[in-house]
Structure 1
Amino acid sequence: MGFNMYFYFCYVEHKVIIVGLDNAGKTTILYQFLMNEVVHTSPTIGSNVEEIVVKKTHFLMWDIGGQESLRSSWNTYYSNTEFIILVVDSTDRERLAISKEEIYRMLAHEDLRKAAVLIFANKQDMKGCMSAAEISKYLTLSSMKDHPWHIQSCCALTGEGID
């Protein structure tokens, strides 16, 4: 009985939402976390959810579709969210302004006032991609004072930079 009670009271699950524009690599990153392999994906309509355990810490990862028509419903996922993972396509210079607009809109939401932010600068294997430093500067991350944040270069297809 003692062990079960201990487990019951110490089991904590952290809610993570993975957001970003369509085709940024959110679902590929989710399954790279889960299985350490590339899974063929199609555009996410709605969301995918998976539990990932890292060193006995449980994360409930919500991968939310990024098409323009779905972004207005992102706020339905915000309740109890501790971590936001924003995935940016490092080759998509034209839509970086939209990513910036979306992340600052999210961070202004009451339910996310305590959330930490991880930005994955994805597709670093592609020729002509922006560096994490360029993306950080464009997103004005240095002015983000109310949320702990980190930007990480990665390649969802190889898993590089994700662990």
Structure 2
Amino acid sequence: CLGPWEAVEGSGPTHASGDAGVCVPTKGFNIKSVHSHGLKLNVWDIGGQRSIRPYWKKYLGSTDLLIYVIDSADQKRFEETGQELAELTEDENLTGVPLLVFANKQDLVTAAPAAEIAEGLSLHTYRDREWQIQACSALSGEGVQDGMNWISSQIVNRKK
């Protein structure tokens, strides 16, 4: 199980999962299988609405990798996003679980660069796990495959 694909509302995780041309905010959660590098990844796409966030932790058991998607252009919510991510990664089910942050909506002129987002989220303080921030645009697909490559390598390395 690839585990939760989490995001703060409106950041675009459903689209970033590879459904080109379709961008529908996740209401509740969706389960889908994604094939990458010969692996079948079971993805739990969990919505980011405030009303859903209290339920996130119910889906963390057996998580192999956490994907967190943020809206790179919504800089006023970076602090909120960072707090949510920090709280989420403190869960005992996620100890040592690799983290991929998709910095989505990089196609917008108002998007912050991935390095700035990593700093804002204090990713450098995550010493108990491998992590990667990947700039992407779910709309154009740019950067999504690079993130999937990282995911696949992490899953393969953890299974050894």
Which TM-score tier does this pair reach, normalised by the shorter chain?
0.7 to 0.9
> Contact between 2:11 and 2:71, CA under 8 Å: does it hold in 1?
yes
Q: How does 1:101-116 map to 2 (within 5 A)?
A: 101-116=83-98
Greater C-alpha Rg: 1
Cα distance in 2 for partners of 1:45, 1:90 equals: 21
- Structure 1 unaligned residues grouped into runs of 5+: 1-13
Output the TM-score relative to the length of structure 2. 0.87
C-alpha deviation, 1:16, in angstroms = 2.7
> What amino acid maps onto 1:68 in structure 2?
R
Deviations 1:2-28 (A, max 9, x none): xxxxxxxxxxxx323111111100111
- Structure 2 unaligned residues grouped into runs of 5+: 146-160
Identity of aligned residues (%): 34
Output the TM-score relative to the length of structure 1. 0.85
Matched, 1:132 2:114: yes
> What amino acid maps onto 1:74 in structure 2?
W
Match for residue 104 of structure 2 among 119, 122, 138 = 122
RMSD: 1.1
Q: How does 1:12-161 map to 2 (within 5 A)?
A: 14-30=1-17, 32=18, 35=19, 37-41=20-24, 43-161=25-143
> Contact between 1:82 and 1:114, CA under 8 Å: does it hold in 2?
no
Task: Go from structure 1 to structure 2 and tell me whether the alpha carbon gap of 1:119 and 1:40 turns closer, same or farther (over 3 Å shift).
Answer: closer
* Residues matched between the structures, number: 145
